[in-house]
Amino acid sequence: MRWEKLFAQRVFFQDKALEELKRDHLFIDMHTHTKYSHDSNAKVSAVLKQAKKLGIGIAVTDHMQIQGAIEAHQRKVVPVIPGIEVAAKENKEVLLYFYDIKDLEDFFKKYVENKVVVHKYKHAKIRNSLTSLKCTTPMLELLKQADQYKCVKCIPHPFSYLFRNSHRLFSKKDGKMKYIDAIEVVNTSLSPKRNKKAARWATKQKKAFTAGSDAHTAKEIGKAMTAARAKNIRGFLDRIRDKQGILLGKEMSRQEAIKHILNIGMMKRRKLK
């Protein structure tokens, strides 16, 4: 099946589709950030309030931190996937979705917590805006560590702007892709062109599709979601592994994307200086 046909069958951009699928599908925004990320000020309570308003669940995937996931899970307001967005030594990221909050905590304490460093770029004019956090573990080793747990491993925004794109790193024939379960093919902050590139690549790699808003503010929650016929988080993640997810979302306009990137840059400067 050509990637265009698969994309058309699995990705919807209409509100009507959302209402029809809600009858027997669980909806999750699979890429969200809270104040515990170095580039967000979104309170967990505000993120949960927005998700409840929309009638959806969320995956809390803060950068190199798990406090937001733990807090959201404990509040039991909406279904929550315990997750984390980890940047490896190469400064490329992977999203990890755990079936159990205890596994997320164990993974974090063993392999992330004491290995976080600040990554700074050489370009002086934009250095502060691009400064980020990463761990000292190479991506392949990090994936092997995550593979010890029951979790879904997903590549976010593989054709992103600037230095966040990661398709080249994962395209190397060094064994990384065999540990990957899914690829994010709808990210609200990216253009349709870049998301379609991700869908084409995911189809070529024979990986599952996911969608997430990559929200850094509460109002962005739910702009992109993954739906699956499931009653709980475990069933949902199983369906994703089986490539049964249906995606809903809408990308930002060019102007909105630029504003989004600038806002994230400003947040980084405040929180990492």
Q: What is the pLDDT of residue 249?
A: 76
Count of other CB atoms within 10 angstroms of residue 201:
19
11 neighbors 40 (Cβ within 8 angstroms): no
The model's pLDDT over 215-261, given as tens digits with 9 standing for 90+, comes to: 999 999 999 999 999 999 999 999 999 999 888 877 655 556 555 55
Q: What is the pLDDT of residue 263?
A: 59
Residue 5 has pLDDT above 70, yes or no: no
The model's pLDDT over 108-141, given as tens digits with 9 standing for 90+, comes to: 999 999 999 987 766 545 555 567 899 999 999 9
The model's pLDDT over 147-202, given as tens digits with 9 standing for 90+, comes to: 999 999 999 999 987 677 899 999 999 999 999 999 999 999 888 889 999 999 99
Q: What is the pLDDT of residue 13?
A: 54
Q: What is the pLDDT of residue 135?
A: 95
The model's pLDDT over 9-26, given as tens digits with 9 standing for 90+, comes to: 556 555 556 667 777 899
Q: What is the pLDDT of residue 165?
A: 84
Using DSSP's 3-state secondary structure scheme, residue 25 falls into: coil
Pairing label, strands 182-187, 208-212: parallel
Residues 80-92: what's their mean pLDDT? 97
Residue 4 has pLDDT above 90, yes or no: no
∠ at Cα 20 (18, 26), nearest 5°?
Answer: 65
Pairing label, strands 132-135, 80-87: unpaired
Amino acid making up residue 35:
K
Q: What is the pLDDT of residue 272?
A: 56
Q: What is the pLDDT of residue 8?
A: 52
Across the chain, mean pLDDT equals 87
Q: What is the pLDDT of residue 257?
A: 56
The model's pLDDT over 33-68, given as tens digits with 9 standing for 90+, comes to: 999 998 899 999 999 999 999 999 999 999 999 999
Domains (range + CATH), the chain = 3-272 (3.20.20.140)
